Amino acid sequence: MNYQDLTFSVILIPLVKLLKLPAAKFACHHFIQNLLRDNQTGILFGIKGTILSCLTSISQNKLTQERTKDFHSSLTYLDKNANFKEMGEGTIQMILFLADAVLKD
Protein backbone atom coordinates (compact mmCIF):
# COMPACT_ATOMS: atom_id res chain seq x y z
CA MET A 1 0.00 0.00 0.00
CA ASN A 2 1.47 3.36 -0.95
CA TYR A 3 1.13 6.58 1.03
CA GLN A 4 -1.72 7.83 -1.17
CA ASP A 5 -3.82 4.74 -0.52
CA LEU A 6 -3.12 4.88 3.18
CA THR A 7 -3.96 8.58 3.35
CA PHE A 8 -7.24 8.19 1.49
CA SER A 9 -8.27 5.20 3.58
CA VAL A 10 -7.85 7.25 6.78
CA ILE A 11 -8.81 10.79 5.80
CA LEU A 12 -11.59 10.50 3.19
CA ILE A 13 -14.70 11.00 5.37
CA PRO A 14 -13.16 13.66 7.65
CA LEU A 15 -11.90 15.46 4.54
CA VAL A 16 -15.38 15.64 3.04
CA LYS A 17 -16.71 17.03 6.33
CA LEU A 18 -13.94 19.65 6.39
CA LEU A 19 -14.76 20.72 2.83
CA LYS A 20 -18.12 21.95 4.17
CA LEU A 21 -16.39 24.58 6.28
CA PRO A 22 -15.49 27.77 4.40
CA ALA A 23 -12.38 28.28 6.57
CA ALA A 24 -11.01 24.82 5.74
CA LYS A 25 -12.03 24.60 2.08
CA PHE A 26 -8.85 26.12 0.61
CA ALA A 27 -6.54 23.96 2.73
CA CYS A 28 -8.51 20.82 1.82
CA HIS A 29 -8.36 21.64 -1.90
CA HIS A 30 -4.63 22.21 -1.64
CA PHE A 31 -4.15 18.96 0.28
CA ILE A 32 -6.11 16.89 -2.26
CA GLN A 33 -4.40 18.50 -5.24
CA ASN A 34 -0.94 17.85 -3.80
CA LEU A 35 -1.77 14.29 -2.81
CA LEU A 36 -3.05 13.44 -6.28
CA ARG A 37 -0.30 15.35 -8.08
CA ASP A 38 2.50 13.64 -6.14
CA ASN A 39 1.58 10.21 -7.48
CA GLN A 40 1.61 10.82 -11.23
CA THR A 41 1.76 7.11 -11.99
CA GLY A 42 -1.42 6.42 -10.02
CA ILE A 43 -4.69 5.93 -11.83
CA LEU A 44 -6.35 8.80 -9.94
CA PHE A 45 -3.88 11.31 -11.42
CA GLY A 46 -5.75 11.23 -14.72
CA ILE A 47 -9.02 12.25 -13.08
CA LYS A 48 -7.74 14.49 -10.28
CA GLY A 49 -9.79 17.51 -11.37
CA THR A 50 -12.98 15.48 -11.42
CA ILE A 51 -12.24 13.99 -8.02
CA LEU A 52 -11.71 17.40 -6.49
CA SER A 53 -14.83 18.92 -8.02
CA CYS A 54 -16.96 15.92 -7.07
CA LEU A 55 -15.72 15.88 -3.48
CA THR A 56 -16.47 19.59 -3.18
CA SER A 57 -19.94 19.18 -4.70
CA ILE A 58 -20.72 16.22 -2.43
CA SER A 59 -19.58 18.07 0.67
CA GLN A 60 -21.77 21.06 -0.16
CA ASN A 61 -24.67 18.86 -1.24
CA LYS A 62 -24.66 20.61 -4.63
CA LEU A 63 -24.05 17.80 -7.06
CA THR A 64 -24.98 19.16 -10.49
CA GLN A 65 -25.79 17.35 -13.68
CA GLU A 66 -22.45 18.51 -15.11
CA ARG A 67 -20.51 16.95 -12.18
CA THR A 68 -22.48 13.74 -12.60
CA LYS A 69 -21.56 13.59 -16.29
CA ASP A 70 -17.91 14.34 -15.48
CA PHE A 71 -17.78 11.51 -13.00
CA HIS A 72 -19.53 9.09 -15.35
CA SER A 73 -16.82 9.80 -17.93
CA SER A 74 -14.20 9.27 -15.21
CA LEU A 75 -15.74 5.90 -14.35
CA THR A 76 -15.51 4.98 -18.02
CA TYR A 77 -11.85 6.05 -18.01
CA LEU A 78 -11.19 3.90 -14.93
CA ASP A 79 -13.02 0.95 -16.44
CA LYS A 80 -10.80 1.09 -19.53
CA ASN A 81 -7.47 1.91 -17.86
CA ALA A 82 -7.48 0.71 -14.26
CA ASN A 83 -6.44 -2.63 -12.87
CA PHE A 84 -8.70 -2.87 -9.84
CA LYS A 85 -6.90 -5.95 -8.54
CA GLU A 86 -3.71 -3.92 -8.10
CA MET A 87 -5.35 -0.87 -6.54
CA GLY A 88 -4.87 -0.18 -2.88
CA GLU A 89 -7.63 0.09 -0.33
CA GLY A 90 -7.62 3.91 -0.24
CA THR A 91 -7.92 4.28 -4.01
CA ILE A 92 -10.81 1.85 -4.18
CA GLN A 93 -12.47 3.53 -1.20
CA MET A 94 -12.21 6.92 -2.94
CA ILE A 95 -13.69 5.59 -6.18
CA LEU A 96 -16.54 3.77 -4.41
CA PHE A 97 -17.31 6.78 -2.21
CA LEU A 98 -17.60 9.08 -5.22
CA ALA A 99 -19.50 6.53 -7.28
CA ASP A 100 -21.99 5.97 -4.46
CA ALA A 101 -22.63 9.69 -4.02
CA VAL A 102 -22.81 10.48 -7.73
CA LEU A 103 -24.74 7.47 -8.96
CA LYS A 104 -27.46 7.63 -6.32
CA ASP A 105 -28.12 11.30 -7.14
Summarised one tens digit per residue, pLDDT across range 46-72 is 888 888 888 888 888 888 888 888 888
What is the SS3 string spanning 10-53?
HHHHHHHHHHCCHHHHHHHHHHHHHHHHHCCCCHHHHHHHHHHH
The Cα-based distances of 75 to 12, 72, 98, 102 in angstroms read: 19, 5, 10, 11
- Domain extent for 98: 3-103
Q: What is the pLDDT of residue 1?
A: 52
Q: Mean pLDDT per 10-residue run, the chain (105 residues)?
A: 83 90 91 87 86 87 86 88 88 89 74
Domain count, the chain: 1
The pLDDT > 90 percentage for the chain reads 10
